[in-house]
Amino acid sequence: MNTIVNLSVDSQGLYDITHKVGEALSDNTLNEGLVTLFIRHTSASLLIQENADPAARGDLERWLNRLVPEEDPLYTHVEEGPDDMPAHIKAALTATSLSIPLLDGRLALGTWQGIFLWEHRHHPGTRQLVVNVLG
């Protein structure tokens, strides 16, 4: 099974997409297998992280923004704005794909785990997520 999910983002940040991935899997007939998620962009990434306390997401965002600041004089790729090159670096440091086991027809996530789209740009837009299931 392969499907593409369009995800809307408002700005930079972590977006819990666990429910959207679950919806994409609703037509899946396999009980066991491997779900692969792949984001088709170079300035956004994917993450499995705590989904209970929003402070964890805020801490991650602030830490990565401190690690990869905007308007660093080392950047030469600046035509698309001050957030573009940092977004590429952030995507390179994180993940553009995830693999999650499918058990009893459900994602085998832990109690406090959620799937997040990490948008690294400031502007709103749409991101495409490829969902693939192998059984």
89, 68 contact by CB (below 8 A): yes
Full residue range of the structural domain in which residue 125 is found = 2-134
Mean pLDDT of 84-92: 98
Overall domain count for the chain: 1
The pLDDT-based confidence of 91 (bands split at 50, 70, 90) is very high
pLDDT in tens, 40-64: 999 999 999 999 999 999 999 999 9
CATH number of the domain where residue 22 is located: 2.60.120.460
The pLDDT-based confidence of 87 (bands split at 50, 70, 90) is very high
- The model's pTM: 0.95
